[in-house]
Amino acid sequence: MIRWFDDLTLGMRFRSGTQRITREDIKQFAFHLDEAAAEHTPLRGLAASGWHTAAIAMRLAVESRPFGPHPLFGLGVDELRWLAPVRPDDTIYIEGEVVELTPSRTKPQGVVRIKWTAYNQRGEAVYTFTPIGIVPRRPA
Amino acid sequence: MIRWFDDLTLGMRFRSGTQRITREDIKQFAFHLDEAAAEHTPLRGLAASGWHTAAIAMRLAVESRPFGPHPLFGLGVDELRWLAPVRPDDTIYIEGEVVELTPSRTKPQGVVRIKWTAYNQRGEAVYTFTPIGIVPRRPA
């Protein structure tokens, strides 16, 4: 059970549950982006499905709770890379690996980067991203 | 009028139109993420509004057409950073600056990074991100 910065080790790995993406999901998400961007902006070549994948992958990462009760990201996200398209009825899951652990010199916490990779049902990597979290140190 | 890699210069700047975010937008987006993540996943502490901001900012960037007819991103996005919350009825716009121009040695194209910053109606920076685009070189 991971709860503190001190519970994490470099190379530690996580794995999420799976998420099936339906044709309806993809259409709804694209439609919503279209609406949110206001009436004067028809949907253009924006890779909406890329942001859809990003949102689903972040949700799967949050659900994996690699930091126990602490939030998964606090500073931002680095290196979003879309590697292959996500098609209707694909099912994705993500795996994460701790790639940076930097204890703060001044506060009882540390910075943690986990590189997550999303795979489809054929095991093909479709997307990666690296959120940057701040995790408290174990109280003395 | 920008059309080719060769039309871009380091430090070149762009500015988008504005986008007002309503309370309804924010609720709809959160709700949709909730649905898309399937029935077994109640909406937790995920910063859905952060991804909402990311989606709107990307749309505004796409509309700014810094590469003319060419797509804004092809390789990925770096350094997403949420700097301040976006509240209902905030209006945001984005400004972009070319921060990298790397011609390919083997293909008639180049890699371009634009760092975009989203501001609210008080001029406060709320979000930055840096998409990585591939832009063709001007034909000889």
Per-residue model confidence as pLDDT tens digits over A22-59: 776 666 655 445 544 433 333 333 334 677 788 788 87
Per-residue pLDDT at B41 exceeds 70: no
Per-residue pLDDT at B33 exceeds 70: no
pLDDT in tens, B73-92: 677 899 999 898 787 778 88
- What's the pLDDT band for A60 if we cut at 50, 70, 90? confident
Other CB atoms within a 10 A radius of the CB of residue B42 amount to 7
Contacts of B28 in chain A (CB under 8 A): 32, 35-36
Evaluate if pTM is beyond 0.80: no
Q: Taking residues B7-25, what's their average pLDDT?
A: 73
Other CB atoms within a 10 A radius of the CB of residue A96 amount to 25
pLDDT at residue B48, rounded to an integer = 45
pLDDT at residue B127, rounded to an integer = 92
Residues of A with CB under 8 A from a CB of B: 19-20, 25, 28-29, 32-33, 35-38, 41, 44-47, 51-52, 54-56, 58-60, 62-63, 71, 73, 75-82
pLDDT at residue B29, rounded to an integer = 59
pLDDT at residue A10, rounded to an integer = 80
Report yes or no: B91 and B20 within 8 Å, Cβ to Cβ.
Answer: yes
Residue linked to tokens 């991971």 = A2
pLDDT at residue B122, rounded to an integer = 92
Inter-chain CB proximity B56 and A45 less than 8 Å? no
- What's the pLDDT band for B43 if we cut at 50, 70, 90? very low
Distance, in Å, from the CA atom of B110 to the CA atom of A76, rounded to the nearest integer, reads 27
Distance, in Å, from the CA atom of A37 to the CA atom of B57, rounded to the nearest integer, reads 9
CA distance A81 to chain B (A): 4
Reading the block at residue A84, the tokens are 């292959």
- Partner-chain residue, chosen from A35, A37, A59, that has the shortest CB–CB distance to B37: A59
Of the ranges A64-78, A116-130, B57-71, the best mean pLDDT one? A116-130
Which residue has better confidence, B31 or B1? B1
pLDDT at residue A84, rounded to an integer = 86
- What's the pLDDT band for A125 if we cut at 50, 70, 90? very high
pLDDT at residue A137, rounded to an integer = 86
DSSP B89-124: T-EEEEEEEEEEEEE-SSSSEEEEEEEEEEE-TTS-
Per-residue pLDDT at B36 exceeds 50: no
ipTM: 0.71
- What's the pLDDT band for B30 if we cut at 50, 70, 90? low
pLDDT at residue B54, rounded to an integer = 84
Contacts of A41 in chain B (CB under 8 A): 59, 63
Inter-chain CB proximity A81 and B75 less than 8 Å? yes
Burial status of residue A40 (CB atoms within 10 A of its CB: 0-12, 13-18, 19 or more): exposed
Three-point CA angle A70, B27, B30, nearest 5°: 45
- Partner-chain residue, chosen from B32, B77, B82, that has the shortest CB–CB distance to A32: B32
CA distance B33 to chain A (A): 7
